[in-house]
Amino acid sequence: MSKKNRTTDIYISQKTAIEKYGVTKKIIEQYFPKPMVKYNGRYRYSRLWKQQDVESAVSQPAVKQLIEEAAASRRRDRDLTEARNLLLSYTPDALVEKAKLLKRVFVLHVGPTNSGKTHDALEALKSAGNGTYLGPLRLLALEMFDRINADGIPCSLLTGEESISTPDAQIVSSTIELCSYRKHFRVAVIDEAQLITDDERGASWLKAICCVDADEVHICLAPEALGIVENLVSQFGDPYSIVRHKRLVPLEYKGRCSSFEELQPHDAVICFSRKNVLSVAAHLERYGFHASVIYGALPPIARRNEVEKYTSGETNIIVATDAIGMGISLPIRRIIFAETQKFDGRQQRPLTSGEVRQIAGRAGRYGMFDLGEVLTMDETSVIEDGLQNPATRVRTPCIEFPREVLQTKYPIDVLLKAWQSLPGNRSFKREDMSSALSLYGMLRESFGTGDKELIFDLITCPIDSDNRELALYWLSCARSILRGRKIPNPGFDIDTLLGCEQQYKAWDINHQLKMRIGIQDDSFGQREEICRRINELMAADKKEYIRKCRQCGRELPPGYTFNLCEACYSDKSYIGTYRFRR
């Protein structure tokens, strides 16, 4: 062959192939020919390929798609790293700097449950005649709304569920998430500030303490949170004082309650699941007691009705979950723990000292009883130690996800994943955005790219994302909003208590989403009707809620936490066949 016709092969290394063509090692292994070169008349394996072989391999449709996917993955990894670096700059320091611009006086009311700290802070609010009450629960905001108006001082109500505008009102009682940062108040009351460390909601307390614009800010908190709140307030440079409150009625541990037949009027029985609350209430009716029930899934209006039945004397015992711990003040003489373990969303665990104290502290209404008593039907050591040992000090406030980063180039899911993956910090922790990330994943297929602010509003709607039926209803509403259609009404079965609760929560989702996009909501009537239906079901015979052995159908005793009776559990033939808690 003449030199004129001789061709010179160009060889490419793995590194060059990756950099020039964007392939990955996996693509090379799967689609590239075995790299061989002729050396001294013999073919040998090498890390080099002929350029024409490489170009032939990468021209295949399957390889082109894999290269595009690899490029997209690299872009997302790069964006994730950049987003992490951006989010690392968001700390409580920015809120502290904002706080320094406000001129305020702080009063820290420190004390256990039933020590009068919220009462004293509320008196300061009523004396000022202008201000805001910020609480953790709708029911608590409603109680303060009623109390202030009952004293002849106009007060409005603002919660995620309802808004009541009272003529001439200069005071508003609201849940803490709805705090107004554009208004100036004479007095602001921030209640239950120990929740500043809560993974999901603690950021709202941090923001309120730092940014509420008021001449006086009264902060009510449990003793274990004093260190963290005082340290925060001291950074503002504003004057502050600490008012320590003692329990108005002594609290004593009285040991074991062996049977529900020993219950007395003005007792509160504590369980930690909706099923057990209803089962215990059903058993108590057999013993001649009339019980009000309180648990988290019960709508606030229905919960209020249960409370009113108890305070009026229509019922004489309360059966409740730990939802009672931060509820309204009730005439309770004895707290009886039917259970001492609770499921916290991740695992079944014993109650902490703080939880025991918060719930037990509801015993002993000032002005009615000289002593508050605490008993247990379960592990005595959990309650006894919880009352004797001080609650663990809370140390790290929770900061909220910075909404302003939505204006950057990064997609919402990249920002949320970056936020969730940031390393821990001893000084603060970050708001848990796992629910928003889960909802974003459900919604992503429906919209592609769109208004990030709107999408963020939709995915941060407060719903139980673990409840599949409610999550699917939320998805149908969110899709309708993004497509400019009418939001569908929920259609859960309201013949059962569980169905009514689902229907109410669905209407609440409907209401929350309409509020977020500026649509006037007209569903209050429907929600009120569901609450009336729930009250009817509550007043009816509760025998259907008595739990039964899943194998033999025998009734299980009140407070019994397993799914099989003792006889069936002892029968080894059932072990491995049925799933049950034991």
- Looking at the predicted structure, is the pLDDT value of residue 30 above 70? yes
- Looking at the predicted structure, is the pLDDT value of residue 1 above 50? no
435-491 confidence digits (pLDDT tens) = 999 999 988 876 666 688 999 999 999 888 888 999 999 999 999 999 889 999 999
**Sheet arrangement for strand 163-164:** 163-164, 155-158, 171-175, 131-135, 185-190, 214-221, 105-110, 240-244
The string of DSSP codes covering 136-160 is S-HHHHHHHHHHHHHTT--EEEE-S
Q: What angle, rounded to 10 degrees, do the helices at 497-516 and 468-482 form?
A: 30
Higher pLDDT, 123 or 322: 123
* CATH 3.40.50.2300 is right for the domain spanning 93-244: no
pLDDT at residue 47, rounded to an integer: 66
Average pLDDT, the chain: 87
pLDDT at residue 577, rounded to an integer: 45
Q: What are phi and psi of 556, to 5 degrees?
A: -95, 145
- Give me the torsion for CA of 212, 215, 219, 225, rounded to 10°: 80
User: 251-388: same fold as 93-244?
Assistant: yes
- Looking at the predicted structure, is the pLDDT value of residue 581 above 50? no
Range name among 72-76, 145-149, 319-323, 432-436 with the lowest pLDDT average? 72-76
**In sequence order, what are the residues at sequence separation of 6 or more whose Cβ sits closer than 8 angstroms to the Cβ of residue 178?**
158, 159, 160
DSSP 396: -
Q: What residue segments make up the domains of the chain, in order of their start?
A: 11-87, 93-244, 251-388, 433-539
Q: Which residues pair with 105 in a beta bridge?
A: 216
pLDDT at residue 460, rounded to an integer: 93
Length of the chain as a residue count? 582
Would you give the end-to-end CA distance of the chain in angstroms? 86
Alpha carbons within 13 angstroms on the beta-carbon side of residue 542 total 28
pLDDT at residue 464, rounded to an integer: 83
Q: Exposed/middle/buried for 98, CB within 10 Å: 0-12, 13-18, 19+?
A: middle
- Looking at the predicted structure, is the pLDDT value of residue 134 above 50? yes
- Tokens representing 106? 């702080």
Place of tokens 């919402």: 412
- Tokens representing 131? 């201000």
Cβ density class 57-81: b for 16+ within 10 Å, e for less:
bbeeeebeebbeebeeeeebeebbe
pLDDT at residue 578, rounded to an integer: 41
Place of tokens 């509320």: 122
What fold is seen in the domain 251-388?
Answer: Rossmann fold (3.40.50)
Q: Which residues pair with 172 in a beta bridge?
A: 132, 156
pLDDT at residue 327, rounded to an integer: 63
- Looking at the predicted structure, is the pLDDT value of residue 531 above 50? yes
pLDDT at residue 576, rounded to an integer: 47
Read off the amino acid at residue 195. L
Task: Show the 3-state SS of 197-252.
Answer: HCCCCHHHHHHHHHHCCEEEEEEEECHHHHHHHHHHHHCCCCCEEEEECCCCCCEE
pLDDT at residue 160, rounded to an integer: 81
346-367 confidence digits (pLDDT tens) = 788 899 888 899 899 999 988 8
Share of the chain above pLDDT 90, in %: 48
- Looking at the predicted structure, is the pLDDT value of residue 43 above 70? no
Share of the chain above pLDDT 70, in %: 92
Cβ density class 467-481: b for 16+ within 10 Å, e for less:
eeebbebbbebbbeb
What is the rounded distance in angstroms from the CA atom of residue 495 to the CA atom of residue 497?
A: 7
- Looking at the predicted structure, is the pLDDT value of residue 423 above 60? yes
- Looking at the predicted structure, is the pLDDT value of residue 132 above 90? yes
pLDDT at residue 580, rounded to an integer: 39
pLDDT at residue 45, rounded to an integer: 53
Whether this prediction's pTM lies above 0.85 is answered by: no
